[in-house]
Amino acid sequence: MGQGNSMARVAFIGLGNMGGGMAANLAKAGHEVRAFDLSEVALERARGKACTPVGSADEALAGAEAVVTMLPAGKHVADVYRGNVLINAPKSAILMDCSTIDVATAKTVAGEAAAAGYTMVDAPGSGGIAAANGGTLTFMVGGSDEGFARAKPFLDQMGKAVIHAGGAGAGQAAKICNNMLLGATMAATCEAFVLAQKLGLDLQTFYDISSKASGQSWSMTSYCPVPGVGPDTPADRDYEGGFATALMLKDLKLAMEAAKEAGAYTPMGGEAEELYQRFADRGGAGKDFSALIKMIDDSWVVPAGA
């Protein structure tokens, strides 16, 4: 547990798939977590996990020493910060936005927070719902040295790694670059397995070879899209759970938006965006993103024994 935050009053706003587990981990670490979400169901779930559900964002913010937001997208974050946090949180509170949002909004809101006298960091997490529940997220943090130092003890209690990426917005930048890489390597991994099968290779044998050869990647060895091959992954549960295609698509769109603004040439990211868009349009939005393999080969045959 980090120095100086052995027990703090934390306002937690956004108790969805990710925020619910993260808030519970802060409560488990001994903090008084005052939790708010627009959804009654989410509030009730938080009550069952040692958090104190409250009726409004402002109620959660009153007297808070730390504020965590875990909201869907940039517009929700801007609304909650402009309408609540930057008005009603104590100026001494450390503000952490853990949502995955566009870099431009992250920088704008951080600028408004600084102008209002607050210390804020953007701290998106990687690892998905299982890591949010298990307290093993990887956080990439954008903000000042002071902001990072103050946020880290709280983030440590929700994650296994907390890395200072740079100034305001750098956490979001790191997150979308990472997920662009993930989207592209997963698409390439799916293609490679489909081709391997068409060429008559045994898929377990191809995995054994490629996972120790230069084609190896996290998409292959930690998140193999083939049922029954590699570690247990969503592929072994008919691609349920895990990281939804819709969320991968969201991150790829954020990456393409940022690339356009920055004038970066990202053809592989663009191709990945198009593939995931097509898969979402064909009904794959709610499936784990590794289910893309089913679209890459419509005749995809689940290997014997899977």
- Residues near ligand NAD (CB under 6 A) are 13-19, 36-39, 42, 57, 70-72, 76, 79-80, 99-100, 125, 128-129, 243, 247, 250
Shortest reach from residue 277's CB to ligand NAD, in Å: 16
Rounded to the nearest angstrom, the gap between the alpha carbon of residue 228 and the centroid of all alpha carbons in its chain is: 26
Q: Verify whether residue 212 is a known catalytic residue.
A: no
Report the residue number, 194 or 288, with the smaller CB distance to ligand NAD: 288
Q: Which residues pair with 32 in a beta bridge?
A: 9
Distance of CA 74 to CAs 82, 109, 270, 284, Å?
12, 9, 21, 24
- Give, in degrees to the nearest 5, the angle at Cα 248 between 305 and 278: 80
Q: Please name every residue paired with 97 in a beta bridge, in sequence order, or none if there are none.
A: 69, 122
Q: Rounded distance, CA 42 to CA 17, Å?
A: 9
Q: At closest approach, how far in Å is the CB of 168 from ligand NAD?
A: 17
- CB nearer to ligand NAD: give 128 or 153: 128
Q: Which of 107, 152, 175, 287 is catalytic?
A: 175
Alpha-carbon Rg for the chain, nearest whole angstrom, is: 20
Q: Give the CB-side neighbour count of residue 51, counting CA atoms within 13 A.
A: 30
Least distance from C-beta 250 to ligand NAD, angstroms?
6
Closest contact distance (angstroms) between CB of 181 and ligand NAD is 15
Nearest distance in Å: CB 203, ligand NAD: 26
At 215, list the tokens. 């084609």
Comparing CB distances to ligand NAD, the nearer of 201 and 285 is 285
Nearer to ligand NAD, 83 or 283 (CB): 83
Ramachandran bin of 24, using left for φ above 0, alpha for ψ from -120 to 50, beta for the remaining angles: alpha
CB nearer to ligand NAD: pick between 93 and 203: 93
Q: Which two tokens stand for residue 283?
A: 């009904």
User: Which residues partner with 139 through β-bridges?
Assistant: 125, 162
Q: How far is the CB of 11 from ligand NAD (least distance, A)?
A: 11
Helix axes 245-262, 267-279, angle to 10 degrees: 150
* Closer to ligand NAD by Cβ: residue 99 or 185: 99
The answer to whether the beta carbons of residues 241 and 234 sit under 8 Å apart is yes
Alpha-helical (H) ranges within 199-265 are 203-210, 218-221, 245-262
Q: Which residues are catalytic?
A: 175
